[in-house]
Structure formats: C-alpha cells, structure tokens
Amino acid sequence: MAYLHGVSPVSATFKQQPEHFEVTELLEPQAEQAGEHQWLWVEKRGANTPYVAGQLAKFAGVGERQVSYAGLKDRHAVTRQWFSVQLPGQPLLAWQDLEHDEFSVQRALLQPRKLKTGAHQGNGFTLRLEDVSDLTALRDRWQLIAEKGVPNYFGAQRFGHNGQNIAKAKLWFAGQLRQRLSRTQQGLLLSAARALLFNEVVSARIAAGRLLPEPGDAMILAGSQSYFIAEPDDPSLLARHAEGDVLLSAPLPGSGSGITGHAIAEFEAAVLADHVELVTGLQQHRVDAARRPLLLRPEQSEFKALDETTAELRFNLPKGSFATSVLRELITTQFENQLLR
C-alpha cells in the first residue's frame, strides 16, 4: 500500500507490553442517571471486547444479547470503554464484587438507553515507542503527520490472521465455503471485503498523486457523514479543502449506483475492476455503498520524549480509524505484522 510521506527513515519498536498501547473510548453518558440500563466503565488488559461482554452477562445472570458496547477495542492493549447491561427494574448490581484478572469495572451508573454500536465519538490513544533510532527525526515526522495526515487505511486486524477474512469472503461469495456462517461472521467478512476495496482505491489515488479535489469528487463535510459532488466551476473548493472544512473520500463499495463523476469515477472503477468478485459479492448481499475520508489526521496530538530513545505519543482519532495506520507512516518497525503492509 502506498505511503503518503514515503517510508519513514525512523525505526522504533512498540507494543512490547500492553501498557505501551492504551486506548480510551471518547464517550460521555447522559447526565440523567436513571433507567433500566446499567452502564459500566471497564478497563481491560489482554482480553477482547466480546469476551468481557460475556463475563459481564454471566455476572448479571442474563444472556449476552443483553450486553452492548459502542465498539471493539484491541486485545493486546490496556483499554477503557463503556458497556451497558439491560436489567429492567433492578438497582445497580454490586459490580465492585466482580473480580477478574483481565478486566475491572471502575464505574457503574444507570442510564435510560442502551449503548448502541458506534455511539462513541472516537478513541484516545497513548503509545510508547522504544528503541527510537532518531528522536529528532521522529518529532519532525510526527509534526508532519499532525499537519498533513496519513492514509485512512483500515488496519490489518480488519482482515484477520494472514488475511483469512478476505480468503473466506471470496469462497463465501462463490458459494464454495464449507462452513455455516453466523450473522456476526457474515458481517465480519462483508466488512473485510469493503475495507480491502477502500484501501486499494486510497493507495492507488496516493500513488497517482491525485490528492486535490477534482470535478466529480465526493467531498465529505468534516465531522459528518454528509457529502456533496465537486463541481468543475467551484472556486472555493480548493480553499475549503486546504482548511480542512471538506475532505476527499474513497468508496466503501456495495449496492447502489456510483456516487462520483467525471474522470475520478473512471479512476475508481478501474481500481475496483481488479476485484470484481468482491464488488459483486457485496452487491449481492445488499451492502449499502458509502464513502469514507481518504486521509486521517490525528487530533489533539502530543509528543513527549521520555529519554534519548523513548517517546510517548498522545492523540485522538475518530471512530473507525486505526492507530496502526498512523504508526505505519511514522516509523518502521521489526513488528511489521502488527502494521498494515
């Protein structure tokens, strides 16, 4: 996949310990503390989100479908996020009595509504990089990324171990998968297929150097999912793009007609033509087409040198974005399997 700023000249290691990769969900509950949904602020280490949800359900004596969360968080990290458990007519349980080696409930409150998928604004990250080859160069590279952004690639974790989700998706679409898929498994494969196609278009556009708005581009309004089609005679578009008011986008393919027009539509279609089986499979399963920003810019970014070869980074990303895509542009590392190739 193409780099926006070229391969980094700085080498470093990260994620040697879960404490070197911290993720905090950005979500504030309602002020009202009443209702049948018990919201739990949970810190976990070495456990994935669905596993913790299952343990919470077990403690509450309910089925796992009564437990919800806004998004999945990395297993090999220290993460903090909200869960909700629906318990009609019950006071807050004694969640402090739930003891587990891999997570703890740090706060509990009542809320009138369940926690829905995607309800969070984003995630805050604190990363520790060790064995940094050149701290000054790392700081300069971080400043460049904070100003210009990085490709908004889906991370390797979206595709499963060794890309197995894509291989399974192709077999499933072709009717050759000898496995009955649950609804959740189907969703994972569909999501992986769309992510791969998005990444391919983003990489091709960066490689072609087409990083300014063109007639026919689907421009996303910053901070929203709304978009408009760029017109050939819009004199304000370049300025709005430079200011970050509007963003270039790439397709999340699915059913429905193409959104872009002019030469950029032909460009995207040419890239997707190399993956007909995935595009067709998404259409057959009636996945709605959508758009996603082409580039990703870390927000509230901070850089702190801890010693001559160690640095700590803090930044926020919108939901659905991957910190590993930021790190891929920032450093080279011997743990490339943790980054997006």
Please write the tens of the pLDDT for every residue from 116-152.
999 999 999 999 999 999 999 999 999 999 999 999 9
**Dist. CA 138–CA 145, nearest whole Å:** 10
CB atoms within 10 A of CB 120: 19
CB atoms within 10 A of CB 163: 14
The continuous run of DSSP H or E covering 14 comes out as: strand 13-14
Residue 81 has pLDDT above 70, yes or no: yes
The angle that helices 164-173 and 276-284 make with each other, rounded to 10 degrees, is 60
Residue 336 has pLDDT above 60, yes or no: no
Q: What homologous superfamily does CATH list for 28-111?
A: TruD, catalytic domain (3.30.2350.20)
Backbone CA torsion sign across 136, 140, 141, 146: positive
Residue length of the chain = 341
**What does the pLDDT average to over 84-91?**
96
Residue 243 has pLDDT above 80, yes or no: yes
Contact residues for 178 (Cβ-Cβ < 8 A; gap 6+): none
Residue 7 has pLDDT above 60, yes or no: yes
**Dist. CA 250–CA 205, nearest whole Å:** 9
Query: 98 pLDDT band (50/70/90 cuts)?
Result: very high
**Dist. CA 149–CA 28, nearest whole Å:** 26
Q: Tell me, what's the pLDDT at 341?
A: 37
170, two tokens: 């192709």
Query: 317 pLDDT band (50/70/90 cuts)?
Result: very high
**Dist. CA 170–CA 191, nearest whole Å:** 13
Residue 214 has pLDDT above 80, yes or no: yes
**Dist. CA 288–CA 272, nearest whole Å:** 16
pLDDT > 70: percent of the chain: 97
**What does the pLDDT average to over 78-82?**
97
Contact residues for 187 (Cβ-Cβ < 8 A; gap 6+): none
**Dist. CA 169–CA 88, nearest whole Å:** 39
**What does the pLDDT average to over 184-209?**
96
Q: What is the DSSP letter of 113?
A: S
CB atoms within 10 A of CB 108: 18
pLDDT > 90: percent of the chain: 84
Strand partners, 42: 81, 105
- From the DSSP assignment, how many helices (H) and strands (E) are in the chain? 8, 16
150, two tokens: 């990085």
Q: Tell me, what's the pLDDT at 339?
A: 45
Where in the sequence numbering do the catalytic residues fall? 74
Write phi, then psi, for 113 (nearest 5 degrees): -130, 155
The residue extents of the domains of the chain are: 13-18+125-148+300-338, 28-111, 153-293
What does CATH list as the number for 153-293? 3.30.2340.10
Task: Check: CB of residue 15 under 8 Å from CB of residue 39.
Answer: no
**What does the pLDDT average to over 233-251?**
93
Give the closest residue to 306 by CA, choosing from 181, 145, 130: 130
**Per mean pLDDT, which range of 31-35, 44-48, 332-336 is the poorest?**
332-336
**Dist. CA 328–CA 151, nearest whole Å:** 10
Residue 25 has pLDDT above 80, yes or no: yes
Residue 340 has pLDDT above 80, yes or no: no
**Per mean pLDDT, which range of 7-21, 40-54, 100-114, 295-309 is the poorest?**
7-21
Contact residues for 96 (Cβ-Cβ < 8 A; gap 6+): 105
Residue 259 has pLDDT above 50, yes or no: yes
Task: Check: CB of residue 232 under 8 Å from CB of residue 30.
Answer: no
82, two tokens: 């909200």
101, two tokens: 């080696």
Q: What is the DSSP letter of 70?
A: S
Q: Tell me, what's the pLDDT at 334?
A: 58
Please write the tens of the pLDDT for every residue from 265-303.
999 999 999 999 999 999 999 999 999 999 999 999 999
* Spacing of C-alpha 287 from chain mean position: 19
Task: Check: CB of residue 290 under 8 Å from CB of residue 320.
Answer: no
